[in-house]
């Protein structure tokens, strides 16, 4: 699903004094926001922040004392924040930065990703776990879908076999977003209620819901993932890639020129032309996650429309529907 560009930079093992990171890493978020350095390994006493802050995962962000480490908290119920719900959310292990022109992730790398399987047709869409018994996906995946024929697979990695941490769940209920119309862009969201709750482990945890008061800025780096095709055809493993959020006006112009369509108000775009990455068949319902202020992965969007690397990828903007989602958790 994506293009891989490797960047190799030599990093010294000596830790300069605070504020004196006079090397290439001084331009990283790690250096100018957290006062740290980027390295493959941290020295004794240093705290390793998420590698996202070091050019999207090429190294750990090593922060010296007395700065406190950024940790992934365990949210509680009814705290007033939509990103804090029952169970641990938003923790993932990112070690590479590379579904069209992407990279093959490691098992359990994105523990909220699910594959949707039909009893006779096999894998047909992707989805995202957001609670102990709730999965979000694209509405287009589930129009007229018979509940009894669908299973939701968590802990899935290789779709050609049943992986060690993989568990298949039956579907209790499907909710399609009110006003959704097939082949009409917008309101492309559905919630699946599982028949039994998920027992969380490192391979099965939910993504956080976003805070609607904090908009996603154009140019921000996020990740997409799905079980769809790659540039080489079909793929049996989960694919992922880092993408750039595209300015809405630019996205509208590109869509208008290419298709003559208007961009719905509830859609986010990623910059396919710059990223050289895009969703493809089977990625419908997959994730667009971005880091939040607490260094957790927040579900910004659900993959809805793609061109397999020709036009911007379009996502249902989750911040538009947090109340609708919360009512179904």
User: Which of 133, 324, 78, 296 lies closest to 208 in space, CA to CA?
Assistant: 296
Task: Say which range, 14-28, 58-72, 162-176, has the weakest mean pLDDT.
Answer: 14-28
Mean of the per-residue pLDDT values of the chain: 75
Asked whether residue 60 falls in the same domain as residue 92, the answer is no
Residue 35 has pLDDT above 50, yes or no: yes
For residue 5, the model assigns a pLDDT of 36
Q: What DSSP string runs through 260-278?
A: -PPPPTTEEEE-HHHH-BB
Residue 224 pLDDT greater than 60, yes or no:
yes
- Domain match, 81 and 118 both: yes
pLDDT digits (tens, 9 = 90+) for 114-127: 999 998 888 889 99
pLDDT at residue 107 greater than cutoff 90: no
Report the range out of 29-43, 100-114, 300-314 with the highest average pLDDT. 300-314
> What is the SS3 assignment for 19-56?
CCCCCHHHHCHHHHHHCCEEECCCCCCCEEECHHHCCC
Query: 3-class SS at 226?
Result: strand
pLDDT exceeds 50 at position 20 = no
Residue 313 and residue 303 in contact, taking contact as beta carbons nearer than 8 Å = yes
Tokens (6 digits) for 140: 């287009």
Q: What's the CA gap between 30 and 95, in Å, rounded?
A: 16
Q: What's the pLDDT score for residue 279?
A: 56
Burial degree of 322 (CB within 10 A; 0-12, 13-18, 19+): middle
**Complete edge-to-edge strand list for the sheet that includes strand 221-226:** 103-104, 239-244, 221-226, 287-291, 297-305, 313-317, 267-270
191 and 318 together in one domain: yes
- Of 91 and 26, the one with more pLDDT: 91
Same domain, residue pair 90 and 58: no
Are 242 and 323 contained in the same domain?
A: yes
DSSP letters spanning 48-84: EE-GGGTTTTSSEEEE-TTSPPP------TTSS-TT-
Banded pLDDT at 1 (limits 50, 70, 90):
low
Domain holding 205: CATH number?
A: 2.40.10.10
Work out the average pLDDT over 96-124: 73
Alpha carbon 152 to chain centroid, angstroms: 18
Cross-strand pairs, 204: 201
Q: Which residue, 69, 85, 105, sits at the end of a domain? A: 69
Between 135 and 164, name the one with better pLDDT.
135
| pLDDT interval class at 62 (50, 70, 90) | confident
- For residue 238 the two structure tokens come to 């989960």
Shared-domain flag, residues 56 and 82:
no
Whether the per-residue pLDDT at 206 is higher than 90: the answer is: yes
pLDDT confidence bin for 293, thresholds 50/70/90? confident
Rounded to two decimals, the pTM is 0.71
What is the mean pLDDT of the segment spanning 214-235? 70
Reported as a pLDDT band with limits 50, 70 and 90, residue 167 is very high
305 shares its domain with 177: yes
Which residues form the domain of 4?
Answer: 1-69
3-class secondary structure, 251? helix
Please report the pLDDT score of residue 37 as a whole number.
82
Q: Are residues 23 and 108 in the same domain?
A: no
Q: Which residues does 86 contact at the CB level (< 8 Å), separation at least 6? A: 75, 76, 77, 131, 132, 329
Q: What percent of the chain has pLDDT over 70?
A: 70
Average pLDDT over residues 40-65: 73
Band (240; pLDDT cuts 50, 70, 90): confident
Same domain, 50 and 77: no
The CA distance from 113 to 130, in Å, is: 10
Q: What is the pLDDT at residue 321?
A: 95
Whole-number Å distance between alpha carbons of 318 and 313? 15
DSSP string over 88-123:
--S---------BB-EEPPTTSSTTEEEEEETTTEE
Q: Which of 20, 51, 69 is the last residue of a domain?
A: 69
pLDDT category, 84, cuts 50, 70, 90?
very low
Is the domain of 167 the same as that of 234?
yes
Looking at residue 147, the DSSP 8-state letter turns out to be G
Gap between the Cα atoms of 255 and 257, Å rounded: 6
Average the pLDDT over 187-212 and give the result: 93
Structural element, H or E, at residue 201: none
**How high is the pLDDT of residue 232?**
40
For the chain, the domain total comes to: 2
Residue 18: per-residue pLDDT = 34
Q: Which of 38, 69, 100 is the last residue of a domain?
A: 69
Residues 203, 178 within the same domain: yes
Model pLDDT for residues 301-310, shown as the tens digit of each residue? 999 887 665 7
Q: Which residue has the tokens 């093992």?
A: 13
Together in a domain, 191 and 302: yes
Q: CA 215, 251, 142: angle at the middle one, nearest 5?
A: 80
């Amino acid at each position: 699903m994506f293009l891989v560009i490797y960047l190799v930079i030599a990093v010294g093992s000596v830790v300069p004094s605070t504020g004196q990171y006079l090397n290439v890493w001084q331009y990283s978020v790690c250096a100018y926001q957290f006062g740290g350095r980027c390295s493959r390994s941290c020295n004794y006493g240093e705290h390793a922040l998420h590698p996202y802050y070091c050019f999207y995962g090429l190294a750990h962000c090593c922060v010296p004392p007395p700065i406190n480490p950024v940790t992934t908290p365990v949210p509680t119920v009814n705290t007033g924040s939509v990103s804090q719900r029952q169970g641990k959310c938003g923790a993932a292990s990112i070690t590479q930065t590379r579904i069209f022109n992407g990279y093959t992730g490691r098992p359990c790398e994105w523990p909220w990703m699910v594959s949707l399987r039909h009893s006779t047709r096999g894998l047909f869409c992707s989805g995202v776990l957001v609670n102990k018994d709730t999965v979000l996906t694209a509405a287009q995946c589930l129009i007229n879908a018979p509940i009894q024929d669908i299973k939701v697979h968590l802990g899935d990695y290789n779709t050609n076999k049943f992986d060690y941490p993989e568990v298949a769940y039956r579907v209790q209920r499907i909710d399609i977003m009110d006003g959704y119309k097939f082949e009409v862009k917008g309101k492309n969201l559905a919630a699946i209620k599982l028949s039994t709750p998920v027992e969380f482990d490192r391979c099965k945890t939910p993504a956080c819901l976003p805070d609607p008061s904090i908009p996603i800025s154009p140019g921000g780096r996020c990740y997409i993932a799905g079980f769809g095709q790659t540039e080489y055809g079909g793929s049996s493993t989960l694919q992922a890639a880092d993408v750039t959020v595209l300015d809405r006006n630019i996205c509208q112009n590109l869509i208008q020129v290419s298709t003559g369509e208007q961009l719905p108000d509830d859609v986010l775009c990623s910059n396919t032309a710059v990223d050289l990455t895009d969703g493809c068949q089977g990625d419908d319902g997959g994730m667009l996650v971005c880091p939040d202020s607490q260094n957790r992965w927040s579900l910004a969007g659900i993959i809805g429309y793609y061109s397999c690397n020709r036009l911007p990828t379009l996502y249902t903007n989750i911040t538009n529907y947090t109340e609708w989602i919360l009512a179904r958790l």
